[in-house]
Structure 1
Amino acid sequence: MSLDTLNWTAVCAVDEILPNTGVCALVEGRHVAVFRVGPDRFFAIDNIDPKSGASVLSRGLVGSLGEQIVVASPLYKQHYDLSTGACLEQPELSVRAHAARVEAGRVLVRLAS
């Protein structure tokens, strides 16, 4: 095992996430929302909705606002940039964005520091 793979956690097979949807994974005790956008782009952000405290962002609607790929919270409808975790309507509600990649047909996540 290389040092590069030590900080990555396999969360599921690529085919377990339908395009333009998300799933929730527990990574090192943290609730993470992992999204598949189109056929081969993957993103990961915290799954906890900061306004409600509920673990629901993975159930939000994926779309775009201008050039930004976002997920809309299913509870209060704020939009979170999947690349950065920034909340577009209320920056104080931003979440952490994590690295996501595919290796050997599995989606892997590395938590942000």
Structure 2
Amino acid sequence: MHSDQQIKHWTPVCELAEIVPNTGVAALIGDQQVAIFHVIDHSQGAPQPRVFAIGNYDPNAQAAVLSRGLVGNLGERIVVASPIYKHHFDLTTGQCLEEPANSVPAWPARIDEGKVWIGG
């Protein structure tokens, strides 16, 4: 996990309201396709919006499709299931649970004044 002090640059991506809760969208940030997910977290009682950013390219399927996957939980992990082979990717780390060698990059993400920001 990254701390805000380690982030050199934050890039605004979109309004949080533009991402349907518990789904993802793809964004081109620099030369990277990034899958950005808006998740409603119920773990602290009252529902809280959270955002996550991982690489959009699924190396198992060899296609840029992770933003279209199904968001859910496996134990304590918040994951997305790729829409092609259903491999699960941890939204915090980018780790592929079934094939760790095929993990994807993860970026810090935050919500500030209703906007989604990705750190780099």
Is the structural similarity TM-score above 0.5?
yes
Task: Tell me the residue number matched to 1:105.
Answer: 114
**Matches of 1:5 and 1:70 in 2, distance apart?**
24
Task: Tell me the residue number matched to 1:60.
Answer: 69
Task: Tell me the residue number matched to 1:24.
Answer: 26
Tell whether 2:57 aligns with 1:48: yes
Task: Tell me the residue number matched to 2:43.
Answer: none
Cα distance, 1:52 vs. partner?
2.5
Cα distance, 1:88 vs. partner?
0.5
- Following TM superposition, the consecutive aligned residue runs of length 4 or more in structure 1 with deviations greater than 6 angstroms are none
Task: Tell me the residue number matched to 1:83.
Answer: 92
**Matches of 1:59 and 1:27 in 2, distance apart?**
17
Q: What is the TM-score with the length of structure 2 in the denominator?
A: 0.85
The alignment-based identity, stated in percent, is 56
**Corresponding residue pairs, total:** 109
The one-letter amino acid of 1:89's match is E
Judge conservation of contact 2:8–2:119 (CA < 8 Å) in 1.
no
Unpaired runs of 5+ residues, structure 1, are: none
Unpaired runs of 5+ residues, structure 2, are: 1-5, 41-47
Task: Tell me the residue number matched to 2:83.
Answer: 74
Cα distance, 1:9 vs. partner?
1.1
